[in-house]
Amino acid sequence: MAERKIYAIFFLFSLVSLLQAEKFTTDVCSLPDDPGPCRAAMKRYFYDPSSLSCKVFYYGGCKGNENNFELEEKCLKRCNGTIAPTVDNEPDCSLAPDKGGCRGAMTQYYYDSASKTCKKFIYGGCEGNSNNFKTLDQCMKKCNKQLPAPVPSDNSTCHQPKFPGPCRAMVTRWYYNRETKSCQMFIYGGCQANANNFAEKKDCENACTRNSTTTTPTDVCSLPKRVGKCRGMYPKFYYDSKDKKCKNFYYGGCDGNGNNFETIEECRKTCREEAQGTEAPKDKCMLPMETGTCRGNFPAYYYNHAKKNCYKFSYGGCGGNANNFNTYNECLHACHKSTQDLNDVCKQPKVSGPCMAIIEKYYYNMETGDCEVFTYGGCKGNKNNFATRKDCADKCLKSVEGCRISPDKVIAVGEEYTMDTEGCTRCTCGSNGLTACIAMKCAAPSCSNYRQIPGKCCEFVCEDGHSMTFKLSIAGIILFGIIIIILSFSFCKKNRSRRNFKHQIFFNDDDDDDTVFNAKKPMKKGIL
């Protein structure tokens, strides 16, 4: 009997212990993270019931609570699965990413409702919100099909303001501008975007302009210039319906209207066709460069028809003509007359590309006629992009019609030039882009004290004032040439079986009837 009582007491004690242990486990895993009052910074883990995961926090070193584990594995082993998820714990995928109040650096994922994709962000380790996932797969499973398609309303995506966010990245995005009733580009910082943030212009237009009341170009272009109530100084353009011209003005930043354009080209495309017709590309590119009547300083490009290239100039901001482009590339595509020019690698503009790498490359600059270094971002760009200057020169410098004798000078095929200041080395441009040069070696005159006459090959002046040259008449030169040819023919015939022989002669035709010639020493080059 006594034995049975002992077993019963032991059973009851064990049951109570198990219940207490279960209660302790549940209580521990439900406790909030508590760093305690001390000021140490010890990396620990706590169980977060809202995300059903263990997260980092920094423990001060004393007190705190039991939801405090040295290793993530211990935290998961103790708490994972002890708390059943509820409907209230479902993540809100529309929330912006929240780093939280701690200083950790954990790579997590959040759902970006604008681009409808999951993206990485740096989580501090505590606090934050429920749009926070450990893996990309968890994020996509929870959020990808959760959010409904946006329905335009006064508080919807399309009516939220442009918001670059607090980060400092340089990402090109699009937002819907309620004032202009159009989708416009802006620079996004890379984090904490609102819903009015689209990766592509067409995404913005599909979401915001498809069901909205659009303003026709006629309505926009007839509106007056409107600076607005704010005091900003944003350079913009508007269409003056009275003068039928696009002009610059400073927009205050709010309370404007649709007659408000980022660039003069955008203004012209929207309004000029309605007001006075679109100029044909041929006429536009034949027009001279005009700075306009205003005194602004806006960088622009115009097409020089004579030189078949686009050049930079400073546009005043109003007036001028249609031969006015925002970029070199835009000018080149609008005005080059043949697609062959556009496809020619060496005539393509320098393009760094949208990526942010720093890679040293070379491109052919049509304005300077030389291969120059530039910084390539690492993606996209065009084919005018070479790893070395030699690669660029081999492709582009040799393709120029004529011969390049310096970085900024090209001579035509058949043209002669003097290579040295004495005039003793004369070169001719060949059809293959290479120059053939003939040089004459001069013998020193008989007098010991002499100087050479600048620009005159083999003409010297002795100190006593006499000019020492060897001059032959034209007839003498011809006779001498015939003798040399006969001797060369005999010599070549004799030595034909042994080797080929190339005989060198030199004829120098000066302006006068006499020709300077050195009979003592032969010249270096020249092939017969």
Say which residue, 60 or 467, is predicted with more confidence.
60
Output the pLDDT for position 374: 93
Q: What is the number of other CB atoms lying within 10 angstroms of the CB of residue 86? A: 9
HSE at residue 79, side-chain half, CA atoms within 13 A, is 28
Average pLDDT for 327-345: 66
- What type of residue sits at position 149? A
CA dihedral 210, 211, 212, 216 (to 10 degrees): 50
Q: What is the DSSP string of 210-273?
A: SSS-PPPHHHHHHSPP---SS---EEEEEEETTTTEEEEEEE-SSS--SS-BSSHHHHHHHHHH
Question: Is the pLDDT confidence value at 391 over 80?
Answer: yes
State residue 373's pLDDT score: 93
Confidence of residue 370 (pLDDT cuts 50, 70, 90): confident
pLDDT at 83: 40
The angle at the Cα of 150, spanning 145 to 151, to the nearest 5 degrees, equals 135
Average pLDDT across the chain, whole number: 71
- Residue 402 — very low, low, confident or very high, per pLDDT cuts 50/70/90? low
Q: pLDDT at residue 12 above 70?
A: no
Give yes or no for residue 85 having a pLDDT over 60: no
Q: How far apart are the first and last CA of the chain?
A: 135
Residue 379 has pLDDT above 60, yes or no: yes
Q: Over 50: is that where the pLDDT of 522 sits?
A: no
What is the pLDDT averaged over residues 425-445? 73
Out of 184-193, 284-293, 382-391, which region has the weakest mean confidence (pLDDT)?
Answer: 184-193
Give percent of the chain above pLDDT 70: 66
Sequence-ordered list of residues with C-beta below 8 angstroms from that of 348, at least 6 positions apart, any chain: 332, 342, 382, 383, 384
What is the rounded distance in angstroms from the CA atom of residue 135 to the CA atom of residue 115? 18
Question: 208-244: per-residue pLDDT in tens?
Answer: 775 444 444 446 788 888 887 776 777 888 888 888 8
